[in-house]
Structures are given as C-alpha cells and as structure tokens.
Amino acid sequence: MIIGKIEDGIVLDHITAGRGMEIYRTLHLDELDCSVAMITNADSVKMGRKDIIKIGRVIDINLDVLGFIDPGITVNIIRGGKLYKRERLTLPKSLKGVLKCKNPRCITTVEPELVSEFRLSEVDSRTYRCIYCEALAQLP
C-alpha cells in the first residue's frame, strides 16, 4: 500500500486501533476538499496495532477534543514536506462545550446558552466534574 507524501498537512499518529473512524467523524473530515487517508490496524512496535490519519492540508483542530477522544495521539504538522511541529496529546485539564451535564438541577440544564465546562478530577479513571454543580462525568 502506497500513501503519498504530504507537502503541507497534518498526520494524526498513534491513534488507538479502532478509534480512527470516531475521530474522522468528530473532526468532520468528510467535509474537507482535500485528500484524507485513513490507515486502520497498522502494525506498531509501541502499540501493537494503531490507526493513522493523514490530512492533505493544515486545518484547525481542537486538540482538547482530540485528547479527550484518545489521549496519546501524536499530532504532526507538516510544512514544505518536513515536520514543522509535533505534539503528543494527553487528557485535557478542562473541556468547554464538549460534554453536557447530566444533572437536571445544574444551571447549564436550565440556562442552555451557558456553555458547559468540566474539569479533570481523576486521571486514572478519566473522571471529569462539572464546574457548576460538581456532577461526575466518567469517560469510557
């Protein structure tokens, strides 16, 4: 399989095997007018198996959402055919407008224009708490 070199774009590497499509949908990559290549279940020395997404141009990506979906992803920005910037993602410390509070008494439920915000409270269990009512949101 040959997937061409990217001149200017983004390579999302070290995606947990099977999570590539979720990222593809979340980032709305099907709406781009450039080439997007997705490799699933690629061999990886570090992970065993992994997914990789190559995007044929540099776009804005919410790194907090990406780190939330799959911490450990490596984001490589390519410019002029060379690595310009590399960032390894972790669980974000806070998430704005990504999760909705499930507490019916939370102010974000009553005031829909108020943007929900959650803060990471426990890294090991991937648990976030609503900053308004302290309700828990545990991630899969």
List beta partners, residue 76. Answer: 11, 86
Q: Can you give the residue range of the structural domain that contains 119?
A: 94-138
CATH number at residue 126: 2.30.30.20
pLDDT at 17: 94
Closest CA to 76 of 125, 22, 9: 9
Count of residues making up the chain: 140
Is 103 found in the same domain as 68? no
- DSSP readout, 40-102? EEEEETTTEEEEEEEESS-----HHHHHHHSTT-EEEEEETTEEEEEEE----SEEESSS---
pLDDT at 80: 93
pLDDT at 110: 86
pLDDT at 2: 64
Residues of the chain with pLDDT under 70: 1-2, 138-140
Does some domain include residue 2?
no
pLDDT at 139: 59
**In the chain, how many domains are there?**
2
134: Cβ–Cβ under 8 A, 6 or more apart, which residues? none
